[in-house]
Amino acid sequence: MADALTMVLTWDRLVRAWVVAHRLPVLDGFMWMLGVVGRGGMVWLVAGAVIAWRRSSRRDFVALALSLLLATIVADRILKPAVGRMRPFDRVPAVRVIGGRPNDSSFPSGHAANAFAGALVLTTTVPNGALVWWPLAIAIAYSRVYLGVHYPLDVVGGGLVGLACAACVVAVQSRFAARFPASK
């Protein structure tokens, strides 16, 4: 078991090193912007607000906001302090970080948790938007490795946290909607 964990963590560090070594300067600003709009689920809240306003559907927006809140609490307030994984730039100080250096733990990625929670909820709300939501979520998660602030397993873990949190909220919302249909 220890050998398998060592292999996975070695793979994790090697993939991060490869991504950072193969950055394209033309993408640096775009990746940084993905990190900015992904912070705190901002891009998902804006998209959800626009959708809710157009459809007059507050319930879907509330589900989105609750999913993002739950993902943030689980990732940033519970798992990061419990796991305490060192950030890549603390482990290898010579690697250039694009943008700021977060001062919390590395695992899981809060950006990835919010991105995948947002993508799942918005996909249930606007299924035709899935071709936008999921590539955006993946791009935000990937940007965290590209910028040098996370390992690949951090974003995978964050993505799984986000999916689980959103799935729970969507399930509760579905039960609530079945019991209390929206009035017209």
pLDDT (0 to 100) of residue 56 = 65
Q: What is the mean pLDDT of the chain?
A: 92
Quick check: 4 pLDDT over 90?
no
Instruction: Determine how many CB atoms are found less than 10 A away from the CB of residue 27.
Output: 13
* Token pair in block for residue 77: 């307030």
pLDDT digits (tens, 9 = 90+) for 127-157: 999 999 999 999 999 999 999 999 999 999 9
The dihedral region occupied by 41, where left means phi > 0, alpha psi between -120 and 50, and beta the remainder, is: left
> What average pLDDT score do residues 47-61 get?
85
As a CATH number, domain 28-179 is 1.10.606.20
Domain range list for the chain:
28-179
Rounded to an integer, what distance in angstroms lies between the CA atom of residue 87 and that of residue 106?
Answer: 5
Rounded to an integer, what distance in angstroms lies between the CA atom of residue 22 and that of residue 2?
Answer: 30
Quick check: 183 pLDDT over 60?
no
pLDDT (0 to 100) of residue 53 = 83
pLDDT digits (tens, 9 = 90+) for 81-118: 999 999 999 988 888 899 989 999 999 999 999 999 99
